[in-house]
Structure 1
Amino acid sequence: MRNIATCYSEHAIKVSDSYCSGSSNQAFQSQKLSPSIQNAVTCIYKVKLSTQNQFLIKLTWCKQGFSIGISDSKLCKFFRVLRNTKGSKTFESCNSRIEVFWDLSTAQYDIGPEPINGFYVIVLINSELSLILGDMENEVLSLEKIGNLSLISRSEQFSGNSVYSTKAKFSNTGTCHDILIKF
């Protein structure tokens, strides 16, 4: 029996040409099928601080902006940020001081609600860098590398009736793969 790591390795998923009309390195899309629309993307990050305290940061991107929830063993704080805004929020929760900084004012988007560039989201827990997303963080702070952070879950919600496509990497050093689901 294979271990779970081999199931998520770079070459764990193979597509045979017998299942596709096109060549194996290109996704097949029928002209009759209408594409689905991505409504939301939710990512859950696990961070372990230098004090060994662990937190989960749940970030959900939607058309209106993003929402963020921070928890230790239970959900402690949740708030929503509107698209095209810049700001910060500081609060006490989970017996910790949490600071969130963001700038979506120049964010550029592809077809989904998640920005692709021109933005940043930074989370500090007890003054320790816990999460940094985007490509503009250097304009705000000169930050050192985040200690122990990992993406543990990513889910995408969409509406439509025929075709859904996305991209995925099965490891941090792996190549990006196109995924196409036809209904």
Structure 2
Amino acid sequence: MVSASSLLLPSSIRDLASCVSDGAVRVACTTPSSTLTATSTTTTSSSSSSSPSTLSVAFSYRTTPQSPTSPPLLLRLTWSHTPLRPPTLSFAGPTASSPAILLRRRKGTRSLPSTSSHPALALFWDLTAARYDAAGGASPEPVSGFYIVAVADAEVVLAVGDLASEFVKAKFQGQIPKARSILPVARADRVVVAAATAATAVHAARVRFAEGAPEHEVTVGCCCSTRGGKEGEEELWVSVDGKRAVHARRLRWNFRGNQTVFVDGAPVDVLWDLHGWWFRDPPGRAVVMLRARTALESRLWLQEEAQAPAFALLVQAFKTPP
């Protein structure tokens, strides 16, 4: 079974979760008709806000093959770019310890040999017609015109991109089955925030917190400057679909914390650690994580290590590129 500690989330997140007590968790009230219920529904806005520059977006997928005797696979994709280099793609799998492979060509195939616990894997990808979001701070992940397909034991274990189904049908004449489930279980965004250029920095990501759940836009915003020469004016907020779910103030004192909100009627833990942003230089890093719980009565997700992992979104913000 793939545990939460096997995901792409860094080990420092375990320390973050353990430093805040269950007593600090506030479970928001919920109603059946509400998608998200939180202490405030104010939409975040700022005339002086800016989008951080996205360095990389990494996804972990947990695949359950058709055969009941085949172990789950953990496959990871990382999209990254720098100001001096176009977007690149790396692939890692089928275990948490598998090294990442940089896919240097825009189109190609790659074979990964079998091991004692996992079958051989064939990877196919085509980014030649990939289209990217041209907005400021745009993600290196393409929005359309691409596919990434992985095949193991004559079944599709990964299919990403709007052209994936078309490729599988053409390549295998529609005669190859698909794994029982292919679930995204983690997303990690690394961004650089030019704090001096704007009063507010805002980063957005679209995610699903559970299989079959609707897609939501999660926005993380932070105001790390002082206003009117006053200390303690720093603010952090997290919004879901424009509704503010978390709002923390006086961040130099409240640089670590957590809160629980409901999304689609299920609890989602929101944790933040901004200690490194002010007190560790370099690199000056802020971390915000949202992680769905598998059960309301479970403690702050650390007891779920032995279970199938729930979805987690991690946003790491840096003052300068790491």
Q: What do the CA deviations read for 1:11-38 (whole angstroms, capped 9, x no partner)?
A: 3553614xx3xxxxxx433122222122
**Counterpart in 2 of 1:123?**
150
The whole-number CA distance in structure 2 between the counterparts of 1:102 and 1:117 is 13
Partner SS state of residue 108, structure 1: coil
Q: Tell me the alpha carbon deviations over residues 48-91 of structure 1, each in whole angstroms, 9 at most, x when there is no partner.
A: 2214222211111112321111133x5234311137x1110113
1:92-120: CA deviations, max 9, x gaps? 14342110000000011112111111100
**Which residue identity lines up with residue 182 of structure 1 in the other structure?**
G
- Structure 2 unaligned spans of 5+: 1-29, 82-86, 196-200, 223-322
Larger helix fraction of residues = 2
Indicate which of 164, 170, 173 corresponds to 2:209. 170
Give the aligned partner of residue 80 of structure 2.
Answer: 62
Name the CA distance, whole Å, in 1 between partners of 2:57 and 2:161. 15
Q: CA RMSD in A?
A: 2.8
1:132 aligns with 2:159: yes
- Contact 2:157 2:178 survives alignment (8 Å): no
- For 2:112, the equivalent position in structure 1 comes to 91
TM-score, normalised via structure 1 length:
0.78
**Percent identity of the aligned residues?**
24
Aligned pairs, number: 168
Alignment-mate amino acid for residue 92 of structure 1:
P
| Contact kept in structure 1, 2:74 and 2:93, CA below 8 Å | yes
Q: By percentage of residues, which structure has more strand?
A: 1
Whether 2:192 is the aligned partner of 1:159: answer yes
User: Compared with structure 1, are the counterparts of its residues 91 and 178 closer, same or farther at alpha carbon in structure 2 (3 Å cutoff)?
Assistant: closer
- Relative to structure 1, the CA distance from residue 129 to residue 145 in structure 2 (aligned partners, 3 Å threshold; closer, same or farther) is closer
Task: With the length of structure 2 as denominator, give the TM-score of the two structures.
Answer: 0.47
Q: Does 2:110 correspond to 1:76?
A: no
Matches within 5 A, 1:1-150: 11-14=35-38, 16-17=40-41, 20=42, 27-49=43-65, 50=67, 51-63=69-81, 64-72=87-95, 75-82=97-104, 85-95=106-116, 96-110=119-133, 111-142=138-169, 143=174, 144-150=177-183
* Native 8 Å contact 1:39 1:157 kept in 2: yes
Q: CA deviation at 1:159?
A: 1.1
